[in-house]
Structure 1
């Protein structure tokens, strides 16, 4: 086979930089988009924020066929006149020439970025600065802060710091005391009783129950901090110390027989135990709060559902007309070429933002039109919906719809939901119709909430109740939906009521 030259013709799709930028902006969340816009404003001098109430010239600087012409009314400044000096100014004239407040060329918002969500309103009397700006405190730092207030010797403080380091985020001691004893330097001459005594000191810290080694010890520590006159306190301490396994398996008949209590008395003892926190360390949150900014706002007006873009989420941009006026067509200098490229990039960026808003508006409108029943009646009225349905309605590809609905949120009268929430698979009904999986989850949640807690509904029983409503669902499907809702099995939902 000898080498030869072959000429072939073909077609292939090439993504232009403008298309790549539009796709990248389309899949960004609101917070990421705000950061992208801020970076574009800092890097491109042709871009600027469009403030409310700004007056614009009739000439559009973004138009390609508009050639910027100098304004004849604006006269070039001349510097032939001599400026007044200190010597030829009298005292009165000097005081008149200096204003009381000198003009500034920057505003506070130009240097320090603020947001509407982080600032108090004029009528917000309950605004707390620390709850909005403070960084979350870890459990270890909270315990160390209490340790600094407790009088201890140097050796005991060393032991306490080591114990605090071994406490996990849920408030339990991960290491045994024997392992901690082996970790200390033998020259310190630390004994096991000293570690035990320091642990008891730490177990008196807040939150109550911290430093426990088992669940039973954690609950006992919390019960010991309750007032001595608390009703059923002694029975609760006996229950968590001796019969915690029977309580976990919900063997109430065995508990009543061993503790010699009636059903109503045992129920009150269990209620006291259930008021405790099995994970005391979870009270100290170390993670910062995550905020969600809705992209679309849905409201009802005169029996009609209106869809609007959240204009406050993303700032409006425009091309700076002053800088755009400096661009000359016939000039091929480096400065003019740079400004021309920046002007073209600014136009592309603004056009990509407009395309993103239009696509988001089309998709959100179709979702609201399809899920009108959910907005009116709740989750049980949710209809089955897939990406292909919206793609056909708006005339776009499914991948585009997937990018639009990812990390985009809709503010409705029922709450804030991600656009992905409105898409769900379907299950056939006995009448030949379809029911969405979201509606089935809502029905399961409603059935479990109304069940008899002495005899909770099993997955098979729930499947039978759904079949009675015309929804054909297998038992394993019910179990999958129940687990996704965070609902325990029937054996763990049994209560003594």
Structure 2
């Protein structure tokens, strides 16, 4: 993976609760977003649905209305920096514990789950990594050893012992690949202890994060003292004030000690497309699914009740509701714009798929879309999770359109998805009495200009749920015997 050194000059926008909300909304599925909007309508009197003319969910005129009434220091920026937030702070989806949570049990509290499968999510990212075939095999073994909480259940030595004799890796090589897995999403994955899970997340924060170094020290050496509320000892050991210890613990509480639970398969979810793809005038177009995101606006009557200079409790409450409503509208607008931008870039790269189907799928990695729309890869990874696209060929998760590449004989590239489709086609057309072996399929693919090893064919075939040639032959023989017996009984 290419590493770059960037010099950032300028002011950094503080990570306010409002901006955290904007980032969190970006991750929600359509159904989750719909529920979020309904809750906001019920709890905030400043919000109402716009049943009339079609307007943007965050109509600019509504943003500017009564602008002078916004509390000082809470001005809403024209653009929310949703992209840089992934790199500049801890994951905003991690819910902060209450200020009074002091024990290790509170800090290591389980967090909200997500219907996306953890192993599937990790294997998809492994496929996107720039790894050799041997490194990829080690990575897959590591992923298979991760439990539902996100912890590695096998030691490096045990994983090393599972490697085929053809792979000449040392335990330190396995450790290096494990370190790459630990940088995948969700942050803190593949740790061997809660302390390591928290430490990995802290490592991924920018060095300028307040109290990052102190939090690392506490996570590595003082969690037991935190559990026993021996804060005076931590103060003395680290030379910190009481308020500094509080700030450091607050940072630790914002982390997720069970990162795997973010991607639990415990609850099924209905699939509702976020965008629709359609062909018009010879070109492919993308539009948002507005049915699940009702158009919202500020209630003009209640907004007019907010009085400038009035310090009463009632007026303060109205001002707070108004500001929260404006932030929600702006957050929804930013979410919609970002989703549309990503979806449009994907469709533009996969026009051949839209026209001709799976065998025409182009190889595509996160970095390409990130560079196209000028965002970070980690941002694209989160945006494409649990977001769906309705196309004339079916409804697909955004992630479906990304796959690794395989070289072709003419020096080009073919996507793994296209190769799977070709394997499926070859097997469906085989003579049932003479099923194609993986070697024969690899040879047929080479005839089509695709260089792929027999072992890779086997992996793709298994991912399609297709049995081996010997198993298919036995199954066909059994079917034939049943047919003959039925004929004899007639």
Range class of TM-score, shorter chain = 0.5 to 0.7
Secondary structure at 2:395 match in 1: strand
In 1, Cα distance between equivalents of 2:429 and 2:60: 67
* Residue of structure 1 aligned with 2:328, choices 333, 342, 349: 349
The reply on whether 1:373 has 2:352 as its aligned counterpart is yes
Which position in structure 1 is the counterpart of 2:64? 63
In 1, Cα distance between equivalents of 2:467 and 2:60: 66
Which position in structure 2 is the counterpart of 1:297? 276
In structure 2, the CA distance between the partners of 1:36 and 1:290, relative to structure 1 (3 Å rule), is: closer
Which position in structure 2 is the counterpart of 1:71? none
* Residue of structure 2 aligned with 1:440, choices 412, 416, 419: 419
Secondary structure at 1:367 match in 2: helix
Which position in structure 2 is the counterpart of 1:29? 29
* Residue of structure 2 aligned with 1:477, choices 439, 456, 464: 456
In 1, Cα distance between equivalents of 2:442 and 2:312: 76
Which position in structure 1 is the counterpart of 2:231? none
* Residue of structure 2 aligned with 1:426, choices 405, 410, 427: 405
Structure 1: stretches of 5+ with no match in the other structure: 1-10, 69-286
In structure 2, the CA distance between the partners of 1:54 and 1:395, relative to structure 1 (3 Å rule), is: closer
Deviation at 1:291, TM superposition (A): 2.8
Deviation at 1:17, TM superposition (A): 1.9
Which position in structure 2 is the counterpart of 1:323? 302
* Higher CA-based Rg: 1
In 2, Cα distance between equivalents of 1:50 and 1:64: 16
Which position in structure 1 is the counterpart of 2:373? 394
Greater mean deviation of Cα atoms: 407-416 or 39-48: 39-48
In 2, Cα distance between equivalents of 1:55 and 1:14: 30
Secondary structure at 1:411 match in 2: strand
Q: 2:31, 2:270 within 8 Å by CA — same for their partners in 1?
A: no
Greater mean deviation of Cα atoms: 482-491 or 14-23: 14-23
Q: 1:60, 1:66 within 8 Å by CA — same for their partners in 2?
A: no
In 2, Cα distance between equivalents of 1:55 and 1:490: 58
In 2, Cα distance between equivalents of 1:384 and 1:412: 19
Which position in structure 1 is the counterpart of 2:19? 19
In 2, Cα distance between equivalents of 1:486 and 1:35: 35
In structure 2, the CA distance between the partners of 1:363 and 1:401, relative to structure 1 (3 Å rule), is: same
In 1, Cα distance between equivalents of 2:390 and 2:66: 41
Aligned-residue Cα RMSD (Å) equals: 2.6
In 2, Cα distance between equivalents of 1:66 and 1:19: 19
The reply on whether 1:41 has 2:20 as its aligned counterpart is no
Q: 1:375, 1:414 within 8 Å by CA — same for their partners in 2?
A: yes
CA deviation vs aligned residue, 1:142-172 (integer Å, no higher than 9, x gap): xxxxxxxxxxxxxxxxxxxxxxxxxxxxxxx
Q: Which has the higher contact order (CA 8 A, sep 6+)?
A: 2
Which position in structure 2 is the counterpart of 1:52? 52
Q: 1:61, 1:325 within 8 Å by CA — same for their partners in 2?
A: no
Q: 2:352, 2:361 within 8 Å by CA — same for their partners in 1?
A: yes
In 2, Cα distance between equivalents of 1:13 and 1:65: 23
Deviation at 1:62, TM superposition (A): 3.5
Deviation at 1:374, TM superposition (A): 0.2
Secondary structure at 2:28 match in 1: coil
Which position in structure 2 is the counterpart of 1:461? 440
Deviation at 1:18, TM superposition (A): 2.4
Deviation at 1:403, TM superposition (A): 1.6
CA deviation vs aligned residue, 1:422-481 (integer Å, no higher than 9, x gap): 000001111111000000000000000000110100111111111111111111111110
In 1, Cα distance between equivalents of 2:443 and 2:55: 67
Secondary structure at 1:396 match in 2: coil
In 2, Cα distance between equivalents of 1:54 and 1:14: 33
In 2, Cα distance between equivalents of 1:319 and 1:352: 14
In 1, Cα distance between equivalents of 2:370 and 2:61: 35
Which position in structure 2 is the counterpart of 1:235? none
In structure 2, the CA distance between the partners of 1:55 and 1:438, relative to structure 1 (3 Å rule), is: closer
CA deviation vs aligned residue, 1:119-149 (integer Å, no higher than 9, x gap): xxxxxxxxxxxxxxxxxxxxxxxxxxxxxxx
Deviation at 1:289, TM superposition (A): 8.2
CA deviation vs aligned residue, 1:177-209 (integer Å, no higher than 9, x gap): xxxxxxxxxxxxxxxxxxxxxxxxxxxxxxxxx
Q: 1:294, 1:313 within 8 Å by CA — same for their partners in 2?
A: no
In 2, Cα distance between equivalents of 1:462 and 1:23: 45
Q: 1:47, 1:318 within 8 Å by CA — same for their partners in 2?
A: yes
Q: 2:387, 2:398 within 8 Å by CA — same for their partners in 1?
A: yes
In 1, Cα distance between equivalents of 2:416 and 2:62: 51
Q: 1:317, 1:350 within 8 Å by CA — same for their partners in 2?
A: yes
The reply on whether 1:312 has 2:291 as its aligned counterpart is yes
- Equivalent positions of 1:111-260 (< 5 A) are none
In 1, Cα distance between equivalents of 2:298 and 2:14: 28
Q: 1:430, 1:471 within 8 Å by CA — same for their partners in 2?
A: yes
Name the structure with the higher helix share. 2
In 1, Cα distance between equivalents of 2:12 and 2:64: 31
- Equivalent positions of 1:64-83 (< 5 A) are none
In 2, Cα distance between equivalents of 1:317 and 1:30: 16
Q: 1:428, 1:434 within 8 Å by CA — same for their partners in 2?
A: yes
Deviation at 1:64, TM superposition (A): 5.6
The reply on whether 1:493 has 2:465 as its aligned counterpart is no
Q: 1:61, 1:324 within 8 Å by CA — same for their partners in 2?
A: no
